[in-house]
Structure 1
Amino acid sequence: MARDELLEMTRALIAHGKAGTMDLADDVVRVPASTYTDPDRFEREKARIFRRLPLMLAPSCELPEPGCYKAMEVVGVPVLLVRQRDGTMAALLNMCTHRGNPLAQGTGKGSRFTCGYHGWTFGSDGTLLAIASAPDFGTVDKAALCLKRFPCLERAGLIFVILDSNSRLSIADALCGYDRLLEHFGFRDWILFEQRTIPGPNWKTAYDGYLDFYHLPVLHAATFGSDFFNRANYFAWGPHQRLANPSRFAQRTGADEKLDLSQMDEADWPHDALLQGVWTIFPHISIASFYGGGVRGAMISQLFPGRTVSESVTTQYYVMERSPETEDQRQGAHEQFAFLETVVAGEDYATGKRQHDALMSGQMAHVLFGRNERGGQVFHQWVDRLVEARDEELPGLFRAASAAMPQEAVAA
């Protein structure tokens, strides 16, 4: 069971916390600085990672009902997500098959989409329903002019899409069983409280920060405090990772008191304690729990490469277990989300921008990831592996990663 795996990780965190130790990588790793700055490498990463692997394009609660849609551009590809009548999700290429004009913008609700250029109309499943002035236009095969559909899978209250309609990669296989653990957050029943989009530095520079507790008491001294922890144990499911502080202490939702888990029966461990830390979904998602207004919540950060090697764009979704019931709860949730903007945009991304600008000088050959930064090591190893992998090798890479995991975790 996935819960058993959560319990096992919590036991490991407690044991390290009591011993004052942490799980370390075998050695310090060097990563060429050019992997952050080379424009050609950047374009290969977009093409071979972001256009070939499953991407989490929306939390389910952003599109809660049949007919709800969301139009977005993902690494240059116009995508239209639409909740179908039966509750399933479709991911369509948001381009009219007449001349390529995008059919929808933003978010909304509707059962059909009419092109604003010439009036062709499509159903929510991408079927071409009508051609304006059809007798004048001429004879065409309408069935061959439906919108292109992308592979799509909804798991753990998250919507995953591969931007390759011919992909042979199974989204479920690429998740390596990680989605079964994410199910324990319960996102499928949560609500979307607020969201915003912020600019950032190079996508890997930005993502490195989500895989790193080492910087917390230094960079965030003014927000978290200089005595904040800087250690993390790392748990991996293929390229997907969880990092959590090795400690026997946990905090109950909405309460300031710290619980000593080592002094409690495991049956009494709060559900929150089993999910603490940061959960990352390769190549671009970070999930962290928060408790603004005393209501259980999480910030889901969705990171995409920008138009140049020096840019990225992050959408932050603040999702909550339930809607705030009082004005104090609403205010608390708003304040929590505003605080997180200060931390990420004002501290992490501002520092990442300065760091990336310095690397662009070409004066440093390598950057370092210490033994205490295993998450960054694993991330860059997977980036390198996937940039070089051929299309036909992708399914085998993820199957091999799952096979290397403990069998009880794979079957959970």
Structure 2
Amino acid sequence: MGYYDTLGAEAAKMLEYVETGTTDSAESTMEVPASAYTDTGYFDREMETIFLKLPLLAALSAEIPRPGDFKAMDLMGKPILVTRKSDGGVAAMMNVCAHRGMILQPEGHGNKKRFSCPYHAWTYANDGKLIGVADPGKFGPICKEERGLTTLPCVEAAGIVWVCLTPGAQINIEKHLGGMMEDLAAHNLEKWHFCGSRRIYGPNWKIAYDGYLEGYHFAAAHPETIHPRSFSNIMHFTAFGPHMRVGYPQVAIKEKLTASPRDSWGQIENTGYDFVRTIFPNVSIFFAPEITQVAQLIPGPTPHQNTTNLLFIRRDPPRDEADAAAIEGMMDWLRDVVDKEDYGVGLQVQKGLASGAIKSVIFGRNERGNQFFHKYVNHLVSGETGSEPPVL
């Protein structure tokens, strides 16, 4: 079965759920200790076994499309610098001068062939090599080859620049993404236009991630934004390793799908149904007709917090000033929905769990994606040698 045939089958399944009043379901309910969202020791193990080992989204290809483009950012408390080299390839390194540890480049985007430290003016090429020491005669002998920026494993695939925060580690992005690679590659994200970003602050990263994995909350939490478009509590789940494609049928799914030939259903995403793609451990992607939102959840610095960067792209750059203004308005609207509705709820959940009022949270049979996500987190954190990862 081809890619679009598979999407069409998932759309058909969503239509069946709507017509029968059912949803994709797990075999039983599942409890997760409340401490999984609050305990510092558990949080530290998550950082060590998941976030410092797995490939993480550092940038969209569309953020650094030209040779010399760069993005400086904080990722998991580590200052990193991602660059587009002169040969078109990408590089990632710690954004820290090898002389005295000064942060080399302030957070943001730009285009530079070289980076000069604002403290003592040591200069680096955009691949991290040290190319100049200020006043070398007075400084003394130094081996430039040994004093470049600390490089990080980095690979570009499916329109995304992936980085591992452990120097010297190996990235097998094809193995990591599995079938999700085909899904992302089908969109040719590397050809899209980067519109901008927004930043919001929320609760524990898993509370935030939980919200992307179910539509059970649509009616109560999004009565005027999402629920008028999409059914509440009807979902379809497809897993690719730890990653998921979560389907949400629109209230007009029957009308929209029956108006199109059955063999075209997989090619009309956003017409009758939508998907949210989650890339484990901390990315959610929603392809909307107007603009695409990529949410990057960055845990910490404590178990009770996360910083979320909302990155926005679309297929074409703004047509004119009015179109550019409309894009800005859409980014603000999407930010406000996530911030005020999802994270507004999430912060209250965090407060409730921290109170000690309940010992565990319970996920229903309808919250199948959440169950799978928490099983995968626990599988990685437990580190049991030889154990098989969970399956959906």
TM score, norm. by length of structure 1 = 0.87
Q: Note the 1:63-74 alignment, pairs <5 A.
A: 63-74=64-75
The equivalent position to 1:272 in structure 2, one of 266, 269, 273, is: 269
What letter is aligned with 1:279? R
Distance in 1 (CA, whole Å) between partners of 2:134 and 2:104 is 14
TM-aligned CA deviation for residue 128 of structure 1: 1.2
Is the 8 Å Cα contact of residues 13 and 247 (structure 1) preserved in structure 2?
Answer: no
Percent pairwise identity: 35
What letter is aligned with 2:75? V
Q: Which moved more, 1:376-385 or 1:222-231?
A: 222-231
Secondary structure, aligned partner of 2:319: coil
Is the 8 Å Cα contact of residues 194 and 317 (structure 1) preserved in structure 2?
Answer: yes
1:214 matched to 2:212: no
Distance in 2 (CA, whole Å) between partners of 1:289 and 1:376 is 21
What is the alpha-carbon root mean square deviation over aligned residues? Answer: 2.5
TM-aligned CA deviation for residue 249 of structure 1: 5.4
Is the 8 Å Cα contact of residues 295 and 309 (structure 2) preserved in structure 1?
Answer: yes
Q: Residue in 2 aligned with 1:42?
A: 43
Distance in 1 (CA, whole Å) between partners of 2:292 and 2:253 is 16
Q: Which moved more, 1:33-42 or 1:44-53?
A: 44-53
Q: Residue in 2 aligned with 1:410?
A: none
What letter is aligned with 2:65? P
Distance in 2 (CA, whole Å) between partners of 1:227 and 1:141 is 61
What letter is aligned with 2:214? D
Secondary structure, aligned partner of 1:5: helix
Distance in 2 (CA, whole Å) between partners of 1:224 and 1:47 is 36
Q: Residue in 2 aligned with 1:138?
A: 140
TM-aligned CA deviation for residue 323 of structure 1: 2.1
Is the 8 Å Cα contact of residues 198 and 331 (structure 2) preserved in structure 1?
Answer: no
The equivalent position to 1:337 in structure 2, one of 318, 331, 335, is: 331
What letter is aligned with 2:308? T
What letter is aligned with 1:39? T
Judged with a 3 Å threshold, the aligned counterparts in structure 2 of structure 1 residues 81 and 321 are, in CA distance, closer, same or farther, namely: same
TM-aligned CA deviation for residue 238 of structure 1: 0.8
Secondary structure, aligned partner of 1:53: coil
Judged with a 3 Å threshold, the aligned counterparts in structure 2 of structure 1 residues 56 and 378 are, in CA distance, closer, same or farther, namely: same
1:165 matched to 2:162: no
Distance in 2 (CA, whole Å) between partners of 1:100 and 1:264 is 61
The equivalent position to 1:260 in structure 2, one of 253, 257, 264, is: 257
1:234 matched to 2:232: no
Runs of 4+ with deviation above 6 angstroms: none
TM-aligned CA deviation for residue 117 of structure 1: 1.4
Q: Residue in 2 aligned with 1:203?
A: 205
Q: Residue in 1 aligned with 2:365?
A: 371
Distance in 1 (CA, whole Å) between partners of 2:224 and 2:137 is 68
Distance in 2 (CA, whole Å) between partners of 1:98 and 1:341 is 39
How many residue pairs get matched? 388
Secondary structure, aligned partner of 2:48: helix
Is the 8 Å Cα contact of residues 240 and 281 (structure 1) preserved in structure 2?
Answer: yes
What letter is aligned with 1:259? K
Distance in 2 (CA, whole Å) between partners of 1:318 and 1:66 is 21
TM-aligned CA deviation for residue 283 of structure 1: 0.8
Judged with a 3 Å threshold, the aligned counterparts in structure 2 of structure 1 residues 124 and 263 are, in CA distance, closer, same or farther, namely: closer
Distance in 2 (CA, whole Å) between partners of 1:108 and 1:95 is 17
Q: Which moved more, 1:336-345 or 1:117-126?
A: 336-345
After superposition, give the CA deviation of every residue in 1:278-302 in whole Å (9 maximum; x if it has no partner).
111011111112233xxxx211111
Q: Residue in 1 aligned with 2:286?
A: 288
Distance in 1 (CA, whole Å) between partners of 2:66 and 2:258 is 40
Judged with a 3 Å threshold, the aligned counterparts in structure 2 of structure 1 residues 263 and 123 are, in CA distance, closer, same or farther, namely: closer
Q: Note the 1:11-410 alignment, pairs <5 A.
A: 11-105=12-106, 106-225=108-227, 228-230=230-232, 231-246=234-249, 250=253, 259-261=256-258, 264-267=261-264, 270-273=267-270, 276-292=274-290, 297-326=291-320, 329-389=323-383
Secondary structure, aligned partner of 2:101: coil
What letter is aligned with 1:110? K
Secondary structure, aligned partner of 2:71: strand
TM-aligned CA deviation for residue 190 of structure 1: 1.0
Judged with a 3 Å threshold, the aligned counterparts in structure 2 of structure 1 residues 240 and 262 are, in CA distance, closer, same or farther, namely: farther
> Unmatched 5+ residue regions in structure 1?
252-257, 406-412
Distance in 2 (CA, whole Å) between partners of 1:171 and 1:268 is 30
After superposition, give the CA deviation of every residue in 1:167-202 in whole Å (9 maximum; x if it has no partner).
245232111231211122231111112211111111
What letter is aligned with 1:139? P
TM-aligned CA deviation for residue 220 of structure 1: 0.7
After superposition, give the CA deviation of every residue in 1:314-340 in whole Å (9 maximum; x if it has no partner).
111121111232555444433332222
Secondary structure, aligned partner of 2:380: helix
TM-aligned CA deviation for residue 210 of structure 1: 0.9
Is the 8 Å Cα contact of residues 97 and 149 (structure 2) preserved in structure 1?
Answer: yes
